[in-house]
Amino acid sequence: MRVLLLISFFTIVLISCTQQETKKNQEDDKSKMKESISGIEIFQQNCVSCHGAAGNLGTSGAKNLQTSKLTKSEIVLQVTNGKGMMSAYKNLLSEEEIEHVSEYVLTLRK
C-alpha cells in the first residue's frame, strides 16, 4: 500500500513539473514577441530620420539598409560606435536595445 502511495505521489509531482515547463515556454514566446516590437520602436525613434521607415531613404548619405550586406554583429558594432555621418549610439541606447534594433534592421532586407 505504501509503495502504491509513493508511486502515485511521484506521478503527480512529475505531471505538475511538465505542466510548469510548457507554461515557461509560452512565457518565453511572449518575451520574444516583445523584443521585436521594441526593435521597431527603437528604429522609429532613432533611425528613420536618416534611413527612413523602410530603410532606403538615404538622408545625409545614410546607406540603404535593404541592400546592406552586414552581419548582425557588424550592425551592432556600427550602431554602437557610429561611422562617418552616423553618430554612435552607445550612450543613447543600452546594449540590449542595440541588439534589438540590429535584429530589426535585418528584417528590412529585400
* Residue ranges in contact with ligand HEC by CB under 6 A: 46-47, 49-51, 60-63, 65, 68, 70, 75, 78-79, 83-86, 89, 101, 105
Quick one: 80 exposed, middle or buried, by C-beta within 10 A (0-12, 13-18, 19+)? middle
Q: Which of residues 8 and 44 has its CB atom nearest to ligand HEC in the complex?
A: 44
Task: Calculate Rg over the CA atoms of the chain.
Answer: 23
Q: Which residue has the cell 536595445?
A: 97
d(C-alpha 51, C-alpha 64), whole Å: 7
CB of 46 to ligand HEC, least distance (A): 4
CB of 108 to ligand HEC, least distance (A): 9
Residue 51 Cα to chain centre, angstroms: 19
Q: Which of residues 20 and 84 has its CB atom nearest to ligand HEC in the complex?
A: 84
Q: Which of residues 33 and 61 has its CB atom nearest to ligand HEC in the complex?
A: 61
d(C-alpha 85, C-alpha 95), whole Å: 21
Q: Which of residues 19 and 49 has its CB atom nearest to ligand HEC in the complex?
A: 49
DSSP-derived 3-state class of residue 83: strand
CB of 18 to ligand HEC, least distance (A): 41
CB of 62 to ligand HEC, least distance (A): 4
